[in-house]
Amino acid sequence: MKAPSIAVKNGVQEETIFGKVYDGRVVARIVPYILVHRNLAILAFVAMLIFSGTTVMVPLIVKIGVDRFIAAGDPSGLTTLFFLFLGVAVANFGANYVQQLAMSTVGQGVLFGLRRDMFAHLQKLSLSFYDRIEVGRIMSRVQGDVGQLQEFLSLIVISLGELLSLFGIVAALLILDFRLGLLSLAVLPLFGVILLVWQRHAMQAFIRTRTASSIVNGALNEGIAGVRVAQGMNRQSRNLEIFDGKSTELLRSNLQASRLSAGLLPPVDILMAVAIGLVLFFGSRMVGHNTLEMGTLIAFVLYIQRFFDPIRNLTTQYTQLQRSMASGVRIFELLDKESDLVDSPNATPIPRLRGEVELRDVSFGYSPEEDVTRNVSLKIEPGQTVAIVGPTGAGKTTLVSLLARFYDVKRGRGAILVDGMDIRDVTRKSLVGQMSMVLQEPFLFSGTVRENIKYNHQEATDLQTTEAAMAVGAHEFITKLEDGYDTYLEERGSNLSVGQRQLLSFARAIVADPRILILDEATANIDSYTEMLVQKALSRLLQDRTAIVIAHRLSTIRGAHKIVVLAKGEIIEVGTHDQLMNLDGLYSHLYHMNFDAMEKSAAAVNGRNGSRNGAQPEQPATKPAEVEHS
């Protein structure tokens, strides 16, 4: 299957693929989803055959009525023909209704299966995929492209029905009178030329529409996700101006595509009028020479009208079929995307962890051009708490991401061992099932407080859930909520404060009883009082657990068994707080920078208070509680 070609323009990836009217590879991939509903699909196919057959029968009934009864002056048989005509009309209506209903049901079932499989596949893809692809573009595929297929199956069946009707009508025309039949079809080559010229322009227009739609989706996602920053910096007007520009391009491209779609219908009507005119001109002469019956001439006119109805319908469906095929290509291209992170064929589940972690000469980069970590070696004993500090970009988060196997270290570029086992040789599920991670930005899901704490551990009892919340100091505020643990949280927990969300993240991590706990600047966004509660809880929570803490607050890392200082992807200092202060290196420098800043701030505040009270400002009695490193 041809993958979308990607053009980069102004930093935006643009998908410039546009589908064929019929792509057998896409249809072949959809067939398994249809077979799940095979009985309904068969019913729709049979109904389509009945619908096409009854469509072709009507002009023949008219011909029989005119030639056998009206022209012969014997109207007695018209009553029988009336009931026959009525029966055909009812069968035509019923078959069309059954066909539409059955295919709509099948289509919705196929869409359900596609959405489910796409979501499941997206859950399995590695973080490197999300590093490369914009969220708006992924949403465009899952929602836009799947939605584009909503009428695809109905269109396929309708198109097949229209084609069958066309073949039936052509056969009837040639059987009724071969010469007049060829004459009535003489306009088709001209229509083919018009269609080829139109398609060349239409394809570019619809590519432009698809690209503009994708850009607008990306901008919309970015604007909503960053609304807090936009309002905080009062940039709403500028953002609206930028979005208006992108939306205007989408408007113009849609209008151009609509003009082209509408522009194809008049030539079809003109060609139909020409074909009818030719048949009437030559057919009337043939009737005058008694070489053609009047009923046959009337049937020819009716057949030509019915012949161009399917052509008109197929023409209007032409672009929709192209869009559907292009969407199908993009959908299956995404489903065929392999994760960069897969378990090795011989991977085995890792047993219950003791918590020993060792990094051996680990070098890793998100791109081949630049390494983020270089030859990092570190050993953490079971139950130890190790803090990692360093400037922004030093590689702190990368190290814990490698340990959690969000990314894999390539063979030959070092190894990460847990309890002496290379984590690339064990199943990721068994490894991360014994780890928990708390991130700087807490992410809560729509649901109750209880559901968010349990999350992937639904087997946890309500007592365990409460104990986890009490352990991190969250129980008190939870009980004050309207419905306590059954309080429903809005999207991302927006009805809670940042500190409350973070406490729930801690409770969620603890309820899993992890052997290894990773805190990635988990206290950066909480206030001092909440941090004090967390610190008291951590002293109990970290017992008998291996903990890796990335933090810039000294209160979080002073009690660590080991502090690792990173700079430019390399370990430059290792030791306890006192040992590193005595080294007078980067850690000491960071500490003193923060201490000086806090001392000046405290002096300024005390100076203002002293001026108001007529007293001298006091010096701070204690050292600062945090060290800034990012």
Residue 43 confidence (pLDDT) = 92
Instruction: Tell whether 297 and 403 lie within a shared domain.
Output: no
Instruction: Tell whether 278 and 213 lie within a shared domain.
Output: yes
Q: Look at residues 279, 299, 78 and name the one whose alpha carbon lies nearest to residue 184.
A: 279
Residue 605 confidence (pLDDT) = 45
Instruction: Tell whether 382 and 329 lie within a shared domain.
Output: no
Residue 235 confidence (pLDDT) = 80
Of 587, 609, 624, at which residue does a domain stop? Answer: 587
d(C-alpha 623, C-alpha 357), whole Å: 33
Instruction: Tell whether 330 and 361 lie within a shared domain.
Output: no
Residue 5 confidence (pLDDT) = 37
Position 149 pLDDT exceeds 50: yes
Asked whether residue 618 is assigned to any structural domain, the reply reads: no
- Tally of domains within the chain: 2
Cβ contacts of residue 383 below 8 Å, gap of 6+? 355, 543, 544, 545, 546
Tell me the per-residue pLDDT of 249-293, one tens digit each, with 9 for 90 and over. Answer: 888 888 887 887 777 778 878 888 888 888 888 888 888 888 888
Asked whether residue 602 is assigned to any structural domain, the reply reads: no
Average pLDDT for 596-604: 48
Cα 451 to chain centroid distance, Å, stands at 24
Residue 329 near residue 148, CB atoms below 8 Å: no
Asked whether residue 160 is assigned to any structural domain, the reply reads: yes
Lowest mean pLDDT of 98-107, 129-138, 256-265, 509-518, name the range.
Answer: 129-138
Cβ contacts of residue 65 below 8 Å, gap of 6+? 77, 78, 81, 295
Average pLDDT for 224-229: 77
Residue 367 confidence (pLDDT) = 83
Lowest mean pLDDT of 314-323, 337-346, 419-428, name the range.
Answer: 314-323
Position 362 pLDDT exceeds 90: yes
Asked whether residue 614 is assigned to any structural domain, the reply reads: no
Q: Record the tokens describing residue 123, joined without a space.
A: 């859950």
Tell me the per-residue pLDDT of 365-423, one tens digit each, with 9 for 90 and over. Answer: 888 888 899 999 999 999 899 999 888 888 888 999 999 888 889 989 999 999 999 99
d(C-alpha 229, C-alpha 577), whole Å: 36
Range ranked top by mean pLDDT from 114-123, 371-380, 486-495 = 371-380
Q: For residue 243, how many other CB atoms are within 10 A of its CB? A: 15
Position 354 pLDDT exceeds 70: yes
Going by pLDDT thresholds of 50, 70 and 90, the confidence category of residue 136 is low
Pairing of strands 562-567, 570-575: antiparallel
Asked whether residue 613 is assigned to any structural domain, the reply reads: no
Instruction: Tell whether 375 and 278 lie within a shared domain.
Output: no
Q: How long, in residues, is the chain?
A: 630
Residue 594 confidence (pLDDT) = 59
Residue 574 confidence (pLDDT) = 92
Residue 601 confidence (pLDDT) = 47
Instruction: Tell whether 19 and 165 lie within a shared domain.
Output: yes
Verdict on whether the full-model pTM lies above 0.85: no
Residue 626 confidence (pLDDT) = 37
Position 61 pLDDT exceeds 70: yes
Tell me the per-residue pLDDT of 207-220, one tens digit each, with 9 for 90 and over. Answer: 777 778 778 877 88
Lowest mean pLDDT of 34-38, 189-193, 550-554, 575-579, name the range.
Answer: 550-554
User: Given CA atoms 306, 307, 309, 310 in this order, what sign does their dihedral have?
Assistant: positive
Instruction: Tell whether 314 and 381 lie within a shared domain.
Output: no
First vs last Cα of the chain: how many Å apart? Answer: 46
Position 557 pLDDT exceeds 80: no
Cβ contacts of residue 257 below 8 Å, gap of 6+? 202, 205, 206, 208, 209, 319
**In Å, what is the CA distance from 530 to each residue of 142, 502, 524, 533, 542?**
39, 9, 11, 5, 18
Host H or E run for residue 586: helix 586-613
Residue 140 confidence (pLDDT) = 67
DSSP code of 370? B
Q: What is the mean pLDDT of the chain?
A: 79
Residue 525 confidence (pLDDT) = 65
Residue 153 confidence (pLDDT) = 67
Residue 607 confidence (pLDDT) = 53
Asked whether residue 455 is assigned to any structural domain, the reply reads: yes
d(C-alpha 319, C-alpha 198), whole Å: 11
Which residues constitute the domain of residue 552?
Answer: 357-587
d(C-alpha 5, C-alpha 330), whole Å: 11
Cα 32 to chain centroid distance, Å, stands at 22
Instruction: Tell whether 379 and 321 lie within a shared domain.
Output: no
d(C-alpha 292, C-alpha 179), whole Å: 11
d(C-alpha 304, C-alpha 478), whole Å: 74
d(C-alpha 243, C-alpha 226), whole Å: 14
Instruction: Tell whether 327 and 389 lie within a shared domain.
Output: no
Residue 622 confidence (pLDDT) = 35
Instruction: Tell whether 293 and 434 lie within a shared domain.
Output: no
DSSP code of 421? E
E-assigned strand segments in 151-230: none
- CATH at residue 121: 1.20.1560.10
Residue 110 near residue 154, CB atoms below 8 Å: no
- CATH at residue 423: 3.40.50.300
Q: Record the tokens describing residue 249, joined without a space.
A: 């391009």
Instruction: Tell whether 315 and 370 lie within a shared domain.
Output: no
Tell me the per-residue pLDDT of 423-443, one tens digit each, with 9 for 90 and over. Answer: 999 998 898 888 888 887 777
Supply the DSSP string of 505-517, one letter for each residue: HHHHHHTT--SEE
Position 609 pLDDT exceeds 70: no
Instruction: Tell whether 364 and 331 lie within a shared domain.
Output: no
Asked whether residue 630 is assigned to any structural domain, the reply reads: no
Q: Record the tokens describing residue 300, joined without a space.
A: 């020819």
Residue 419 confidence (pLDDT) = 93
Asked whether residue 295 is assigned to any structural domain, the reply reads: yes
